[in-house]
Structure 1
Amino acid sequence: MGQKPITFLRQVVALCAYPDLLEDDKFPEDAKNRARRILQACGGGSIGAYSASPGIEIVRQDVAKYIEKRDGGIPSNPDSIYLSTGASDAIVTMLKLLTSGEGKNRTGVMISIPQYPLYSAALAELAAVQISYYLDEDKCWSLDVGELRRAVKAAREHCKPRALCIINPGNPTGQVQSRQCIEDVIRFAAEEHLFLMADEVYQDNVYAEGCQFHSFKKVLFEMGPEYSSVVELASFHSTSKCFMGECGFRGGYMEVVNMDPEVKLQLTKLVSVRLCPPIPGQALLDLVVNPPQPDEPSYATFIKERTANLDILAGKAKMTEQILNTVPGIHCNPVQGAMYTFPRLSLPEKAINAAKEKGQAPDMFYCMKLLEETGICLVPGSGFGQRDGTYHFRMTILPATEKLKVVLEKIREFHKRFTEEFS
């Protein structure tokens, strides 16, 4: 999508991949020092060697320090951190660990609707039961504990609810959950004895005024030992999102809290089957959690590039919401965070019937016509799940600002034509 890579990240990874460049005076000294430190921690001083299965020791230590700093000093243990091939790999590993049973004893996992399809696909593959809970679109996709209670009560009839997944900031919906909401979720998880899975890969992508990212771990520990000593939690982060956007490097981590030592042993065995996450991804993750410091030569450029990437995303989030809400028949909630919007479509009855004749979901029919007429590819809401009788699409805010403006104008023109054609 054309987002410019962060110079420091690429410099250090280049130095790690080709250490002869350490003699090149084009690279700043702090980038060279960082590359030397990473290489010394690698087997044989090379990123071509395997690492320990949970990840390179110094990277896990740096991740622990990053989490401690982020959460205001709440301790983090490197032995509870597992590096992964992006966040997706860690999420699937955790679901695999939690899944067991047959018939009514099958593991049930609560996932939000709309949801990122990784979750439903992994649960289907593992023959676990998907327990859907709906986010409240009328309240900017907020999470209501009453809805969680409804979903878990209905699920107990046919499975054994064991885990609750939360994506915050949200994908595909772009909401940022309030601190109060997170506290309510933690209380609910404690009451129902559910393992909490907090997908926090968009934690730096918060744009809306009055919104703030609160990590589940921080809130959990601030609620006191009544909760912090009993609620089991795994939280996930990635190098693929935020200001970095380095998805191809496949870097990520998970931190586990309050996991039974015997279960943790099985988790370590499970990650060992995959040998280790990609070493270039581990190196990149180290730079994300341990960026240049104010007294280092790369600091000013790093901060400038980081701020620019996030400011541009914030501007595009606002622009997307404003332009889509000028279109009669499209309603777009504020894009509070993450990288997507999930607008609701009002579709004419004739279009809904035409979709049924083609054997397509109405929003799929809409998105296919848009693709054919304009070349713009949106994902229909039916691909993420939505309340019956509602229709949506997901679009990313990642294209360059001028290109995004053109895309939004083309969607506006198309929607007008579509509505007239099927009115």
Structure 2
Amino acid sequence: MSKCSVRHLSLLGSPLKRRCFLKGCNMSTTALLNGSDMGRVVTLDNMNPHLRVMEYAVRGPLVIRASQIEKELASGVKKPFSEVIKANIGDAHAMGQSPITFIRQVVALVSYPVLLDSPDFPDDCKERARVILGGCKGGSAGAYTDSCGIEVIRRHVAAYIEKRDGGIPSDYSNIILSNGASESIRAVMKLLINKSKDGLNNGVMIPKPQYPLYSASIAEYGLEQLNYYLDEDNGWGLDISELERSVNEARKRCNPRAIVIINPGNPTGQVLSRQNIEDVIKFAHREKLFIFADEVYQENVYAKGSQFHSFKKVLMELGEPYSGMEMASFLSSSKGYMGECGLRGGYAEVINLDPKVRAVLEKSISAKLCPTVIGQTVMDVIVNPPVPGEPSYDLFMSQKKAVLESLSQRATMVAETFNSIPKMKCNIVQGAMYAFPQIMLPEKAIEKAKSLGQAPDVFYAFQLLEKTGICVVPGSGFGQRPGTYHFRTTILPQPEKLKMMLEKFREFQTDFIREYS
């Protein structure tokens, strides 16, 4: 290693020393990190190109800057605000939501079985914990489980799905437990990585706007992203003619193999009607597409007249030939009334898969050993909650009801406020945890953004962060029709903080429009 390289290594921890001060050296620490003088084995030029291009907007540059601002505030730097409000991600507990007591009690007992002898825990919590521990090797949450999860929990998930869908059977062998829904979504999507005999990639249809997990995973896996636009003017509805446009254009360059539906919608908050779901299923059958039904917000339905219908139920009730279609549906403990993002519980129900393909899927999953037992425990409690007559029932129901009623009120507050602010409009938040308002940016602001090398909505979001401390995600991170600008914000801040946040939005938007008009 050169004398200069040694000197550079000593500088890497210092943000203030960007360039070597040895006489005659022009090497920056950035150049060193890129491997120009170190003979790196892995460089930007030879690393996996799919990882280079993948992006994940909800944890992008704005969030990095928000974290920097938090540190600046903590160090005494004066800002026109006293705190950063991270409305960029659906993290309920980070926004002040209290845990559901029953969930945490069962988790505590499974984690530390000595507490099973404590009189401080209700008997129904203890019974749930004993059943889960009985499914663990050695009776311990510290042991590996089967790769697809603890059998008794998978059976409970199947029973939950069957009850939810009005008695339509669910086979526990079709249930895959995972570390959050995202892990099982990615596990199933990996099945699609392939090329046709003529060298064309497989493609996955995703909505625009969409949750960036899908675009990021598609990029990482080297698949083709096929966009279909949701109809903002009709409550972010799903137009079958738009699906047909998308798939017909895609066939010129790839093989469409799957369609992703997010219901209730993220980031748009719409809830699909049953008729819309039937139309999508028939379209997917006609085009021979595997269905990804992202239903992690199925508990989060607020708007009057809106109702959640599972794709599995509708598909089965349509009968043959639709009931034989391949589909995977997903649920997560991170959303709903639970908001247990950090405990990483989730499941997939994968139906009508070729048994040989199913074996390969399980082999792939086994390479990850198993999902966390704590996450599996949370999922068990969600699908097997207290029932009338059990000691925890009343408290559980009151907590669940309070969370969902508060979210419903906040959903209304957010949409009504945005619609009262000049140059903004927002569809009703029918479900999920987000609003996706449109902002009508002045031409002067668009030109300013271009001069800075930023997308206009990115410029807007950075200005919002620097002047108010509110961190949102620009609409370009989710996809939007050309010429329109949006941002996604959660509805998760607690009511008083949300009210304050919305008033900051009003003041910022008014000043922004005045400055750039």
In structure 2, which of residues 374, 384, 388 is the aligned counterpart of residue 294 of structure 1?
388
Q: Which amino acid aligns with 1:220?
A: L
| Equivalent-residue separation in structure 1 for 2:475 and 2:341 (angstroms) | 23
| Equivalent-residue separation in structure 1 for 2:476 and 2:302 (angstroms) | 26
Q: Which amino acid aligns with 1:166?
A: I
Structure 1 residue 115 corresponds to structure 2 residue 210 = yes
Are the counterparts in 2 of residues 108 and 159 from structure 1 also a CA contact under 8 Å? yes
Hey, what does 1:242 align to over in structure 2? 336
Hey, what does 1:414 align to over in structure 2? 508
What is the CA deviation profile of residues 379-406 of structure 1, one whole-angstrom value per residue up to 9, with x for unaligned ones? 1001100000000000000000000000
In structure 1, which of residues 181, 188, 193 is the aligned counterpart of residue 288 of structure 2?
193
Structure 1 residue 77 corresponds to structure 2 residue 184 = no
| Equivalent-residue separation in structure 1 for 2:312 and 2:199 (angstroms) | 31
SS in structure 1 of the partner of residue 510 of structure 2: helix
Hey, what does 2:301 align to over in structure 1? 206
Hey, what does 1:356 align to over in structure 2? 450
Structure 1 residue 130 corresponds to structure 2 residue 235 = no
Structure 1 residues 326 and 404: CA distance shift in structure 2, 3 A = same
Q: Which amino acid aligns with 2:204?
A: V
Gaps of 5+ in 1: none
What is the CA deviation profile of residues 275-296 of structure 1, one whole-angstrom value per residue up to 9, with x for unaligned ones? 0000000011000000001010
Q: Which amino acid aligns with 1:401?
A: P
Are the counterparts in 2 of residues 104 and 158 from structure 1 also a CA contact under 8 Å? no
Runs of 4+ in 1 over 4 A off after TM superposition: none
Q: Pairwise mapping of residues 359-398 of structure 1 onto structure 2 (< 5 A)?
A: 359-398=453-492
In structure 2, which of residues 87, 98, 113 is the aligned counterpart of residue 4 of structure 1?
98
Q: Which amino acid aligns with 1:228?
A: S
In structure 1, which of residues 47, 59, 72 is the aligned counterpart of residue 153 of structure 2?
59
- Displacement of 1:257 in angstroms is 1.2
Are the counterparts in 2 of residues 363 and 381 from structure 1 also a CA contact under 8 Å? yes
- Displacement of 1:226 in angstroms is 2.2
What is the CA deviation profile of residues 150-192 of structure 1, one whole-angstrom value per residue up to 9, with x for unaligned ones? 0000000110000000000000000001101000000001000
- Displacement of 1:329 in angstroms is 0.3
What is the CA deviation profile of residues 218-244 of structure 1, one whole-angstrom value per residue up to 9, with x for unaligned ones? 000111122102x11100001000000
Structure 1 residue 35 corresponds to structure 2 residue 129 = yes
Are the counterparts in 2 of residues 111 and 131 from structure 1 also a CA contact under 8 Å? yes
In structure 1, which of residues 166, 178, 185 is the aligned counterpart of residue 261 of structure 2?
166
Which 10-residue stretch deviates more, 93-102 or 159-168? Answer: 93-102
| Equivalent-residue separation in structure 1 for 2:346 and 2:188 (angstroms) | 14
- TM-score normalised per structure 1: 0.99
What is the CA deviation profile of residues 358-378 of structure 1, one whole-angstrom value per residue up to 9, with x for unaligned ones? 000101101100100011101
In structure 1, which of residues 41, 64, 89 is the aligned counterpart of residue 183 of structure 2?
89
SS in structure 2 of the partner of residue 291 of structure 1: coil
| Equivalent-residue separation in structure 2 for 1:90 and 1:101 (angstroms) | 22
Hey, what does 1:139 align to over in structure 2? 234
Q: Which amino acid aligns with 2:181?
A: A
Structure 1 residue 223 corresponds to structure 2 residue 318 = yes
SS in structure 1 of the partner of residue 313 of structure 2: helix
In structure 1, which of residues 182, 195, 198 is the aligned counterpart of residue 277 of structure 2?
182
What is the CA deviation profile of residues 25-74 of structure 1, one whole-angstrom value per residue up to 9, with x for unaligned ones? 11111111111111111110000001000100000000000000000000
SS in structure 1 of the partner of residue 329 of structure 2: strand
Are the counterparts in 2 of residues 109 and 165 from structure 1 also a CA contact under 8 Å? yes
Are the counterparts in 2 of residues 140 and 333 from structure 1 also a CA contact under 8 Å? yes
Hey, what does 1:279 align to over in structure 2? 373
| Equivalent-residue separation in structure 2 for 1:35 and 1:79 (angstroms) | 22
| Equivalent-residue separation in structure 2 for 1:295 and 1:97 (angstroms) | 45
Q: Pairwise mapping of residues 261-272 of structure 1 onto structure 2 (< 5 A)?
A: 261-272=355-366
- Displacement of 1:105 in angstroms is 2.2
| Equivalent-residue separation in structure 2 for 1:259 and 1:20 (angstroms) | 42
| Equivalent-residue separation in structure 1 for 2:199 and 2:444 (angstroms) | 42
| Equivalent-residue separation in structure 2 for 1:127 and 1:36 (angstroms) | 44
Are the counterparts in 2 of residues 104 and 160 from structure 1 also a CA contact under 8 Å? no
Q: Which amino acid aligns with 1:194?
A: L
| Equivalent-residue separation in structure 2 for 1:199 and 1:25 (angstroms) | 40
Hey, what does 2:352 align to over in structure 1? 258
| Equivalent-residue separation in structure 2 for 1:351 and 1:375 (angstroms) | 20
Hey, what does 2:36 align to over in structure 1? none
| Equivalent-residue separation in structure 2 for 1:279 and 1:238 (angstroms) | 15
Q: Which amino acid aligns with 2:185?
A: I
What is the CA deviation profile of residues 177-209 of structure 1, one whole-angstrom value per residue up to 9, with x for unaligned ones? 110100000000100000000000000000000
SS in structure 1 of the partner of residue 479 of structure 2: coil
Hey, what does 1:16 align to over in structure 2? 110
| Equivalent-residue separation in structure 2 for 1:70 and 1:285 (angstroms) | 15
| Equivalent-residue separation in structure 2 for 1:409 and 1:284 (angstroms) | 36
Which structure has the greater CA radius of gyration? Answer: 2
- Displacement of 1:104 in angstroms is 4.7
Q: Which amino acid aligns with 2:248?
A: K
Hey, what does 2:244 align to over in structure 1? 149
Are the counterparts in 2 of residues 47 and 280 from structure 1 also a CA contact under 8 Å? yes
- Displacement of 1:99 in angstroms is 1.6
| Equivalent-residue separation in structure 1 for 2:352 and 2:116 (angstroms) | 42
SS in structure 1 of the partner of residue 471 of structure 2: coil
Hey, what does 2:493 align to over in structure 1? 399
- TM-score normalised per structure 2: 0.81
Q: Which amino acid aligns with 2:170?
A: S
